[in-house]
Amino acid sequence: MSPVELFLSIVTSAIILNLLLRLYAVLKHPSKPFPPGPKPWPIIGNLPHMGPAPHKTLAEMVPTYGSLIHLRLGSVHVNVAASASVASQFLKTHDANFSSRPKFSGAEHGAYNYEDLVFAPYGPKWRMLRKICSVHLFSNKALDNFRHVRQEEVAVLTRALTRSGSAPVNLAQLLNVCTTNAIARVILGKRVFGNGDGSAGQESDKFKEMVLEMMVLGGAFNIADFIPSLKWFDLQGLTGKTKNLQKRFDVFLSKILDDHKINDSDGGEHTDFLSLLIKMKDEVNPEGVKLTDTNIKALLLNLFSAGTDTSSSTVEWAIAELMRNPKLLAKAQLELDTVVGKDRLVSESDIGQLPFLQAIIKETFRLHPSTPLSLPRTAIESCEINGYTIPKDSTLLVNVYAIGRDPNVWAEPLEFKPERFLQGSEHADIDVKGNNFEVIPFGAGRRICAGVSLGLRMVQFTTATLIHAFDWVLPEGQMVENMNMDEAYGLTLQRAAPLVVHPRPRLAPDLYSI
């Protein structure tokens, strides 16, 4: 045998041996199947199955396919967690593997090309933005320092509601003004809407419309994200609409940033969050990342959109549910009258002594989670969940809506029953901060909403004040039994019809003028 023949023989034997070893490995450790799910269509996959309200459509699949569902949307593998136990596997056991976000057009064109906190990929930039917010905005110290701001803006809201007289008010509008101004005073050191009277105007309405449009566009499934070859056609018009909306937001945010730079140059001491961010631009963090103007505007976009919309809509849902359940409203008012009395308004420091009020908020989050489908995450590496293969680069969606209505966990899951969270009940120890996966309105794990503590404080305090300070009546001719409780789907779960009501003061008149 010639040297060449010997060499070829050795190479051939090595190749055959390698193939045999691979075959043995496959036979000994066969690859696990994907989770069950509806049969995909050619090319487009399961996109036609999503429907106009994907959180509901996916919840309806659970009895057929179980609480871990596999979809193929175009060329993208998508896994849906629809129970507390499955969500825990992804967001606790395998949290590090699902700590990043997939690339998609909504974030690319609507969130400064992933330069924000919410959609940034897991890495140095995300850690920098997260740390800045955690320390300077959402720490207990920061929240306590700005407690007076929240209390002052909610007091402004009560005065605005009192001035309505016999006319019905659009509660959604006034709540939006309240939450936006409360956040703006912390971030910018000033209100952005109105003159301090709490009323809604053309500017605040326009801003809310922009936020709602962002949530609707962000919640839509863009075909181009799943079939890349169709990207340039923008068949649904979503990319064009998102780019247009981004331009309008950029005008709003650029003016805020430019005006603030001018004000900060006066040599005075500025303690608001934006001034801090501007000062930090010259710093390089230990991982070699610098803050840019784009990062700052992207962060402001996160705070002004997600931070205002989620809080105000949750309060609106809570008041609507209590109006439909007058006995629960009376019980909540009795608790507030007992703890707070009727000679002062509620203080944020009272919340810890109001277990029924806290139970109302938990139940509202359970039935009406502000984000019904969690923001998507992506698998950094392949892994196994409950005996199924979760491939690398597949997308994870957690159906928070389905988890909160799981009949295996919740008795009468469609009923509004705050008492299920009271002491002595089965779910008394559940919180909503990502520790108990039965109710995770803010998500869980590394990518849990950074503002969970602020959001919870704002929702609890605002709802407590509205319950304590007012009785709530529908406009003449409307009955609570027929209230419209339909949802408008988007990234956040809005009411389809804003809550229009008559607020009737129930405390001494002089309290509303404070």
Q: How far apart (Å, rounded) are the C-alpha atoms in residues 454 and 461? A: 11
Residue 152: pLDDT band (50, 70, 90) is: very high
362-to-263, 290, 357, 366, 367 alpha-carbon distances in Å: 41, 39, 9, 6, 9
Predicted pLDDT of residue 27: 41
Mean pLDDT of 262-280: 83
Predicted pLDDT of residue 15: 52
The mean pLDDT of the chain is 91
The token duo for 153 is 């803006």
Mean pLDDT of 164-183: 91
Residue 365: pLDDT band (50, 70, 90) is: very high
Predicted pLDDT of residue 85: 98
Q: Is the pLDDT of residue 147 over 70?
A: yes
Are 474 and 502 in contact by the 8 Å Cβ rule? The answer is yes
Every domain of the chain and the residues it spans? 31-513
Are 354 and 336 in contact by the 8 Å Cβ rule? The answer is yes
Given the candidates 3.40.50.300, 1.25.40.10, 1.10.630.10, 1.10.10.10, the CATH classification of the domain at 31-513 is: 1.10.630.10
Find the range with the poorest average confidence among 143-157, 166-180, 261-275, 366-380. 261-275
Are 444 and 87 in contact by the 8 Å Cβ rule? The answer is yes
178 annotated to bind ligand = no
3-state secondary structure of 390: strand
398-to-81, 225, 372, 413, 508 alpha-carbon distances in Å: 5, 19, 8, 18, 46
